[in-house]
Structure 1
């Protein structure tokens, strides 16, 4: 079968190589999956660079999120078991983590539903306890992780403020449903949030960026607000001033979604049921900005690593992907 493999760590476009490999053999408790579409995630770039919290042995195939078909013909979504990632014709996954693909979404959309939307749902509902009528601030609102949080925030009845970088991404954020869009390249984010909220600030901040975005979050969060730390796409991990959290009375909430797959897998399935229902009634729909063939996977991962994409890029292996 054809598969992309990483033989040494570095930039995705330099270290990912497409070639013929043996079809993976499922281990105990695993299933073989024929990949229909694989979503490109920022962790794929981190895996290539050797900077992710999980470091599979070399060589490995990246691709942490797929829509696939089981040997008995079921259409599913899954997180592949590394080192056999999803940028290949076949992958393997732990059977207990495989979920039915929503009928309302095509293969590319279904592949993009899992990690980003699960992370958003857990971050907003489980950790931050977002309520209807509250204000949600989303950094990188036009990106893959941010766009999911925007849609989930709107579905929950929140007023959503999206922070983006550049006019193209601002247009995407508006189309996603943001009530207010702030272009950080030309606007003062903190002042704009205060203006949009009558000086109060945001009740919940969803931050997959870190660095300067987190510093802005701390200044723009409301009294008794909640900052959800999701990731550090900026490459800079901030050091929160806990005295500031104390005197301003806000919460800093960490979110590592992957832990729920082992600590509380039933909650992951409950979340998937909620997401499937939201997709069925059109309240959420993954923004797949591009669909590329397997041969273009390395360049797609590099573009996500460089932060120049909007929504999600899906690597589509089989035509006729519409559900």
Structure 2
């Protein structure tokens, strides 16, 4: 069947759990999306608040500290949140591809199999007995073992240990992230093996409709692997065509709840980053120059990306800088301001709106 781009984007908003109201917990929001990009954890916590009933960062962090969802390198070579029960099979499905993507950087740094495996063993020994280590402590442990300890070396050594299912995130110490043994946080189970079909089903449940290229980019799987998985799921899928491209999804449920009129989507949110095709179009005069990384969030209204926003926590205040396209109507601007107020409350800070 055919569909228009607007309808596809609306279905994506609903699949991602952004329709209101929602009674999901933050962990259920993570589970719905299968994995949530989280190299900027504070921004990712806000992503989960937009998709759950959480009203404060403390609520989201409590679930994270309890190990209901964890942070590790999986999928693309960056951090993601994943529900505890999903971490092992996701790693089993994608780790080899992420390792392959890291190959050239590992060679440049002179990190071979011997160094990577020794780093994982050293970390496993240091974390034995339920200990957790913050990043500076990890650096000390690796240095004491005679391993390279420049910043990028440490990133690659720890990432290898994560991909090998040795270490994973531990509970936070104030604002500091820690590492723990994965075996201490998630017991091994019978359904922890590689499963591209399971990954496809979970991605489409929380992101569809999506193209083959969307799935491959998000998951790090090859186009061939994705197409094979789609063929196995063919009888379960709904497909639509837009401008000659095919988009796949699981059968949608009833359209329950209203779509939010304005969203302040944070840096690396799953909605703008989860797709290669049919992105939300920028409004005329959009303030983000093409091909320039402003490290900013996106302001979505209706079927368009209407601006950018950035935040800076300064003591008891959070400074929010909004930059909206010139044609954005006053009522949408007021709603965007209201979302900035909501963000400040989430962070338990006073708002300094720019």
In the superposition, the TM-score normalised over structure 2's length comes to 0.24
Question: Hey, which of these two has a bigger chunk of strand by percent?
Answer: 1
- Max Rg structure: 2
In the superposition, the TM-score normalised over structure 1's length comes to 0.26
